[in-house]
Every structure is written in C-alpha cells, then in structure tokens.
Amino acid sequence: MRFRSVIVASGLLWGALCWAQTSSSTGAASTQAINAQNENNLCRIYFMRPKPGQDQQLEAGRKKHNQFHRSQNDSWTWNTWIVQTGDLTGRYVTSTCGHAWKDFDVWEAKMGKPDAADAAVNLGPYIQDTSNGFYLYRADMSLAPPNQPPAPMTAVTIYNLHPGAGPDFIAAIKKINDALGKQPDWPKTSGWLQLVNGGESPSFVLLNARQNWAGFEPLSKSVADVLTEVYGQDGGNQILKTIRDSTARLWTETAEYRSDLSYIPAK
C-alpha cells in the first residue's frame, strides 16, 4: 500500500519491457494464464500529505467527501490508510481496487467532474501535496487472493528494481511462494502490487497483513530457512541473491487502516 510517483512515460516504458521480457521467457500460453489470473485486479492509489497542523481538518473533509460518494450511490470501494513509519509518516493513502482499465472510463464519465469539485472543497484546502498511480495486484505472485478485507495494519516493503530486472525478480518471488505455500503454518497473507503507471519503475510493493504490532514479531522459521529446506543451501542462496541483485532501492513502511475514513458502498 505505499508507493511513489514520477514520470508516466518511464513507468509505461519499463512496465512494457517487463511484460515483453516475461512473455519471451515464459511463452504465450504462460503469459495468457498470468493475464487471466490478474484480470480486473487494477488499483488506483492516491497519496495525500496534509498541511502542517491540518490533519484533523483533512480527516473531517475526507468524511464529508465519503458522504458525497454515498449520495451519488458510488459502487466503488475507497479504503484509506495512514502511514505510521518511514519518511512518509503522516501521509494518507486512499485506494480503489478490483478494476479493469475500461472501468475508469465509465467511472470518470459518471463521477469524474462532480467528484473533483467536491474534493476541491472538502479536501483541497488541507492538502500540502498529492500524487497517485495505477498498480496491478499480481495474484500470480501473491499468497493472498485479491480484494481481501483490509487488515488493521499492513507491513509494506517497496522494491525499486534495476532496469530490465523485472522477469528475474518475478521468477524468484514465485519460487519463494512455491516454497512458502508448502508450509502449513506459514501465514498466507502476503500480496504483491506492480506499479504500471505513475511512478519510478520497475517497482513492486509487498504487502503483509498484520493484526497489531505484536504481529511484527519474527516467525520461528525465516524465509531463508524455508528456501534451504525446499531448494537446498545453494538453491536458496541463489534465489535470495537474485532478489538482491535485481533491487536498486528498498524501503519499508507501516500503514494503519482507517475504517472511519473509508467508503464502503451499500450492498
């Protein structure tokens, strides 16, 4: 759930390169299967930094803006978190997920202008800066299925990769998941997002659900231990080396879910 924004053109370029290289290495049939797994898994995620001392006003404005969504019978869910650790502490993050690209055209035609007008009144005066991006939930890379109810807390790890490193990184993550999936006691709560437009790319975001701070305690067995059991010492080390060699920059954050600032449509 935490992410950055930069140049749309470069995001599109590297996203296209990652998909092209994945396609050439896995074959058309495999690519079709991956696309099917990730269909309708697109998220748009907004990041807002409040003006100094304006946190309470921004939260009040978010609640009013949610009432606007309710008055318009908006069928989309808008979940909100606040970042609790790291350089972006205090940022509010609001996302809507489970969409295809064409869904955003339909939503914009119905809601776009009135939504922007209401946000300008209820949110705009209290925001110092904002950004947003599109992310794909990679069900084929995740242990948790898409569109799960938000956990109270989320441990977030952001990987900015070296150009062209996407295919090797993805393959290594899938090997890790294959190993972890064989562990009956391993929590199946992790999910991966891939930035596809609106920031530094290639970028992947690992989300791990947590119920509370106690949930951050290390497990009795590490990922490295599991990889050694499944692939042997050399095989496990090589997988972890691929992750390290693919990564240009890595950082972590913790996000707290704010149900009071979220909009869930009536069923």
DSSP code string of 94-161? EEEEEE-HHHHHHHIIIIIHHHHHHHHHHTGGGEEEEEEEEEEE-GGG-SSPSSPPPPSEEEEEEEEE
Task: Note the pLDDT of residue 39.
Answer: 76
Q: What is the mean pLDDT of each run of 10 residues along the chain (267 residues)?
A: 32 32 42 68 97 98 98 97 97 97 97 97 97 97 92 98 98 97 92 96 97 95 96 98 98 98 94
For residue range 47-79, what is the model confidence (pLDDT) as tens digits?
Answer: 999 999 999 999 999 999 999 999 999 999 999
| Model confidence, pTM | 0.85
Between CA 48 and CA 167 the distance in angstroms is 32
For residue range 202-217, what is the model confidence (pLDDT) as tens digits?
Answer: 999 999 999 999 999 9
Joined together, the tokens standing for residue 73 give 């019978």
Between CA 161 and CA 199 the distance in angstroms is 12
Task: Note the pLDDT of residue 267.
Answer: 80
Task: Note the pLDDT of residue 31.
Answer: 57
Task: Note the pLDDT of residue 261.
Answer: 98
For residue range 162-188, what is the model confidence (pLDDT) as tens digits?
Answer: 999 999 999 999 999 999 999 999 999
Percent pLDDT > 70 in the chain is: 86
Q: How far is CA 156 from the centre of its chain?
A: 8
The one-letter code for the residue type at 225 is D
Decide: residue 267, CB within 10 A, 0-12 exposed, 13-18 middle, 19+ buried.
exposed
The residues, ordered by sequence, that sit 6+ positions from 47 with a Cβ below 8 Å of its Cβ are: 2, 3, 5, 88, 91, 92, 93, 130, 131, 132
- 72 and 244 Cβ atoms separated by less than 8 Å: no
Task: Note the pLDDT of residue 18.
Answer: 35
The four Cα atoms 89, 92, 96, 100 give a dihedral, to 10 degrees, of -60
Q: Which of 4, 7, 16 is nearest to 164 (CA)?
A: 16
Task: Note the pLDDT of residue 38.
Answer: 74
Radius of gyration of the chain (CA): 19
The one-letter code for the residue type at 236 is G
Between CA 139 and CA 147 the distance in angstroms is 10
Task: Note the pLDDT of residue 265.
Answer: 95
Task: Note the pLDDT of residue 40.
Answer: 85
Q: Which of 46, 19, 45, 18 is nearest to 160 (CA)?
A: 18
